[in-house]
Amino acid sequence: MADPVRIALVYPTVLGTYGDGGNATVLTQRLRWRGIDAETIDVGIDHSVPEQADLYVLGGGEDSAQTLAVNRLGDGALNRAVDAGKTVFAVCAGFQILGETFLDGAGAVHPGLGLIDCRTDRLDGPRAVGELLGDSALDGVGTVTGYENHGGRTVLGPDATPFATVRSGIGNGDAAGDGAIQGNVVATYLHGPALARNPELADALLRRVVGELDPLDDAEELELRRERFAAITRAKVTRWRRQWRPPARQ
């Protein structure tokens, strides 16, 4: 009997502010629905990340949670797992700490894990809060949707490429891209949880681990996507109506 696919949920008590722990649940369940044995490993903040997992999931958190998490990850276990070809999916704060540097709430610069060629400082304008819609660069994923809530601006270096081209929302803060892809590391600002709202993205990550997958009936997931697309469209129309003013009469 083959060993189960192991999904490591990294520090969910501090990197799980916006329900991102649900991403690990989605990955595990989509394997089980296909008859593939899988298990979720909750990695506590006082424990080292297991290097024998197959896929690692990091979520969002506050500034203090970021600095605590990156200090715990400084033992190099996650870096060694990536060097061994393991896949990582990171969201928001998890994304930022995988970069070269990030800022805390007081503006102090902290070193990240260096798994993504990027640096995070602060957005020039207000905090990015609201629906985020984009087109993913990953094969077979297509349009992605989620909820962003962050004050960071992430600038990618030449070794990283954007995870998605932004159609609506802020993303990395450059008005063009969201997240990053570098080797086996995929990162984004999408909450939701992202993989519940984007099953094609979940399967794209799983294919990196187990190869080709049998199709699933995603009718309920697709209905959720249609509802979110409609909500984004309504929000755009509402903003346009509030901003539009009729021309002055001559």
How much is the pLDDT for 234? 80
147: left (phi over 0), alpha (psi -120 to 50) or beta: beta
Q: Could you confirm whether 118 is annotated as catalytic? A: no
How much is the pLDDT for 175? 65
- How distant, in Å, are the alpha carbons of 75, 114, 127, 133, 144 from that of 68? 13, 16, 22, 30, 30
CA dihedral 24, 16, 154, 188 (to 10 degrees): 20
CB–CB of 5/30 below 8 Å?
Answer: no
Q: What is the pTM of this model?
A: 0.92
Q: Which one is catalytic: 110, 118, 150, 191?
A: 191
3-state DSSP assignment of residue 160 = coil
How much is the pLDDT for 233? 78
Q: Domain spanning 5-216 has what CATH number?
A: 3.40.50.880
CB–CB of 161/136 below 8 Å?
Answer: no
Domain parsing of the chain, residue ranges: 5-216
Hunting for tokens 């539009």 — which residue is that?
244
CB–CB of 162/177 below 8 Å?
Answer: yes
Q: Could you confirm whether 47 is annotated as catalytic? A: no
**Mean pLDDT by groups of 10 residues along the chain of 250 residues:** 91 92 97 98 95 97 92 96 98 98 91 98 93 95 95 97 96 91 98 95 98 94 84 65 50
CB–CB of 190/198 below 8 Å?
Answer: yes
Q: Which one is catalytic: 92, 110, 118, 150?
A: 92
